[in-house]
Chains A and B, each alone.
Chain A
């Protein structure tokens, strides 16, 4: 199984996402923003970072890059796509997910180990979790406040499109504590926290068991392997 990780100019967590893909047991394929070739991958990760320097609006320029034309078409045809942080912003700008992400309500960049509750465990990227499961993965952003109009909010809440909610602390003022979303098909998932930073003992968040031992993030990547196997 091949999982593509797109590198835009200003992508930062692309190599981390590739590591996560490899640790989950898949092959990581580097995709280039200026290309139209998805190289036959079975799933795609849009990694974190500051694509195009966050100029205009976070994710706005990347959403219009050559590779995204192909990603949008593939996503609409059911290909699993995960957007992490800046990748989530790109998915929103590309209208693959609803709403928008604005400056954190406190105004600053924040990096912290964030607890989340899994709200939807039937997407391509979350099927290894159970609904209501509480996980901890790092969060690090300055523009993570989720906004959406009231009508859409009601719809996505009603249709189970909220994939993750912040627990204990809402770190950025997101509506309804929303940390991540999925589309109606369950193949596209976007979230602000970074699962690729919680995949390897020793380099993840602290847990009750040991320092830096949190690996809750790996389930995102094993989930997509499972869903690919199920489809095959």
Chain B
């Protein structure tokens, strides 16, 4: 018996040996149930596997009981186009014409605080591998980011690191970054949120799943070598195993190599095309522990692998470290024996190192050997599927009623033009509403040649089929302030906004992925927030008729003892039959009529106005109107299909006023706005009209010749519509203005300066800002926003 190896035989012979389960994050009763499952103490390798697979991150043990709702609250309509639902690496949606799309959003919050560059980079790498695992070619990424206060010194460390990490990794993979969000709030100071989304496309027949079926099939590990990075607790086991020399210090954050991943993508796609892969799984959290136990659990038998066959970057790694290593850019495939030679030929072509670790068996056991000894002998389902499930206690927060009672309605709502003008300028220069080109100019939006929309449009859009123009649109949204005031409503508002952002492009929303960022589940008030948010999201999806296809939960997000605001980030995907008919968020032409769709109420609680102008967060968030969001989306889709819209922009943070500013700055064309009809109809004051954040509202630009058709469409669908202005390029030579009649006029130049100054002041210059401040604008003949050749 090898003295250095804690084998099954050793474990049986030394039942009383003390094991560092607590340091690995396991509770005493969890450790006991592992002993009960095995009928003996676990080996250190088994302990490594169980500890990491039963962690909150991998097992969803605190969230599982709530997440079930996403699978239960569904209608047949919601699942009819769903090829793969929750539980696999990523959901897959049939978008027609033989095409399918897979997308998912995932968090990499904690690593990105410790090491912003690598944390964010490997966040992108991980989500992209999930997409490859489904058999898809990744085609775009997005990123939803939350940082601490914009002027805090540590934000100057974290933000540039995160942005350059995302930029470095995704740019080197050749994936366009088509959108996302950058948001600041002191609540995220020591706990930034880095949520990365990836989307991939595949033909129906190319779908692959993560399962190990067919005894005798080979288990193949390929990609980067396994190293000592991303090993959290395994060093404790190393010190447990080795008496001499003490533990080796291993970095907790993984290190990414996008070049290795790019080669891996092309290699995998060639393997799929050659039908050389039976099952496939990427290696992410928990590395080989996760890949082997999940593949075996999803299969029909067992699996036997030898860790001695794993190619190592560091030959001193222990078995436990190899099992837990989170080295990036690795994949595990199940390959039929007669296809192994073909498989190896492809990996050789791409210079991807490959080793056969073992094979699928009929034993029902996952058996792992090391130096000739069996160090793991488990039922894989006990590791990967049947982990502990907690029904954590919930409690309605003691502070909730007082918070909800503290409405922003107590603040004076000035109605004079000078004050409103000043407040608008303050708002558009505030951290969350300011221009984010500082971030997005570091991302490649062109690569692959299929980007039809990207930042600053409301959603990103990618062409899927070059012949037909079939494409998908994606948007991510979250508002932690709303969710703090009411997590149920906050989750629905995030859903509604992402849904609307997709709808304004002319696409039809079809599916949802979510990344649920919360504080500690051991805090009953946080658990209450979580339960309400999940319920709100599940109910909202049912009402809108679009399914949640997958996602991720991130707990333990807190600054000191203070949990972050509940931040359910919702990504919505939509389908458009021809990206040539897409609608941008900015005015394209002079003389278009501007219509506000939807009605405006006094809903300023939790708004950007309350936060920026008054430093206030209290009251109740705006009411979600999901049925109306659905009606609105259908109306927009019909209008876009008929080519009635030159622009459409969602109203959200900062209300109508900031929406009009965004749409004007997009192409440098101004507008004249009048509010009288709106004030009269909705019985509101000018400030409410400008800054209220009522939902189910969109502003659209309609060419005059389409006016009649457009109004008939709104009337037919009984959707509230008010003409509130006209686009105006301004006199030749002079710059364009934004005029709100009887209140104020601001030149686009002044608006642009205010919007751009904020990020530059805190993080440095953006190439080309100085040269194009005038914003030349586009000058186009009438004819709609269609692409013509």
Tell me the A residues contacting B by CB distance below 8 Å: 9-10, 12-13, 15-16, 19, 48-50, 52-55, 106, 108-112, 138, 140, 142, 168-169, 171, 194, 196-197, 199-203, 206-213
Contacts and interface: CB of A to CB of B under 8 A. Distances in A.
17 contacts: A16-B447, A16-B448, A50-B171, A50-B259, A52-B259, A106-B765, A108-B442, A109-B164, A111-B440, A111-B442, A142-B171, A207-B778, A208-B776, A208-B780, A209-B778, A212-B452, A213-B787
A18 to B, nearest CB: 10
B351 interface: yes
B768 A200 contact: no
Given A169-B767, A201-B789, A9 B168 contact: no
Contacts of B350: 9
Interface in B252-281: 257-260, 262-263
Nearest to A204: B446
A171 B441 CA distance: 12
Interface in B765-783: 765, 767-768, 770-772, 776-781
A53 B446 contact: no
B771 A169 contact: yes
B463 interface: yes
Given A138-B446, A168-B772, A209 B779 contact: yes
Contacts of A207: 778
B167 interface: yes
B787 A201 contact: yes
A111 B444 contact: yes
Contact of B441 (A54, A112, A199): A112
Contacts of B263: 9-10
B778 A211 contact: yes
B223 to A, nearest CB: 13
Contacts of B174: 12-13, 49
Contacts of B259: 9-10, 50, 52-55
B649 interface: no
A112 B767 contact: yes
Nearest to B351: A9
Interface string B228-263: 000000000000000000000000000001111011
Contacts of A209: 778-781
Nearest to B779: A208
B449 A196 contact: yes
B446 A140 contact: yes
B765 A10 contact: no
A110 B452 contact: no
B172 interface: yes
B2 interface: no
B579 A202 contact: yes
Interface in B444-501: 444-452, 463, 466
Contact of B167 (A48, A54, A109, A138): A109
A114 to B, nearest CB: 8
Interface of B: 164, 167-168, 171-174, 257-260, 262-263, 350-351, 440-452, 463, 466, 579-580, 584, 588, 667, 764-765, 767-768, 770-772, 776-781, 785, 787-789
Contacts of A171: 767-768
A15 B174 CA distance: 11
Contacts of B466: 19
B588 A200 contact: no
B789 A203 contact: no
B263 to A, nearest CB: 5
Contact of A202 (B168, B172, B580, B777): B580
Contacts of B164: 108-109
A112 B785 contact: no
Contacts of A208: 776-780
A50 B172 contact: yes
Contacts of A12: 172-174, 262, 447
A110 B667 contact: no
A54 B781 CA distance: 44
A48 B446 CA distance: 12
A53 to B, nearest CB: 3
A24 to B, nearest CB: 14
B620 to A, nearest CB: 39
Given A9-B351, A202-B787, A112 B768 contact: yes
Contact of B667 (A10, A169, A211): A211
A12 B444 CA distance: 11
A197 B667 contact: no
Nearest to A114: B768
A15 B265 CA distance: 14
B771 A168 contact: yes
A107 to B, nearest CB: 9
A213 B781 CA distance: 13
Nearest to A15: B448
A112 B588 CA distance: 20
Contacts of B776: 208
B262 A197 contact: no
Which of B174, B440, B442 has the most chain A CB atoms closer than 10 A to its own CB?
A: B174
Contacts of B788: 201
Q: List the 3 closest pairs (A to B, CB-CB), nearest first.
A: A53-B259, A12-B174, A202-B787
A5 to B, nearest CB: 13
Contacts of B446: 111, 138, 140, 194, 197
Given A54-B172, A203-B449, 10 more contacts: A10-B172, A10-B262, A13-B174, A15-B449, A19-B466, A53-B257, A106-B765, A109-B443, A203-B451, A210-B778
B736 to A, nearest CB: 14
A59 to B, nearest CB: 14
A36 B140 CA distance: 33
A7 to B, nearest CB: 9
A209 to B, nearest CB: 5
Nearest to B466: A19
Contacts of B787: 201-202, 212-213
B580 A200 contact: no
Nearest to B457: A211
A138 B780 CA distance: 21
A199 B535 CA distance: 47
Nearest to B174: A12
A110 B442 contact: yes
B447 A109 contact: no
B349 to A, nearest CB: 8
A149 B220 CA distance: 52
Contacts of B777: 208
Nearest to A168: B771
Contacts of A201: 787-789
Contacts of A211: 584, 588, 667, 778, 785
Contacts of B257: 53
A54 B257 CA distance: 11
Nearest to B442: A109
B779 A50 contact: no
Nearest to A167: B771
Contact of B444 (A15, A55, A140): A140
A14 B580 CA distance: 24
Given A110-B767, A169-B771, A208-B779, A202 B452 contact: yes
B463 to A, nearest CB: 7
A183 B584 CA distance: 42
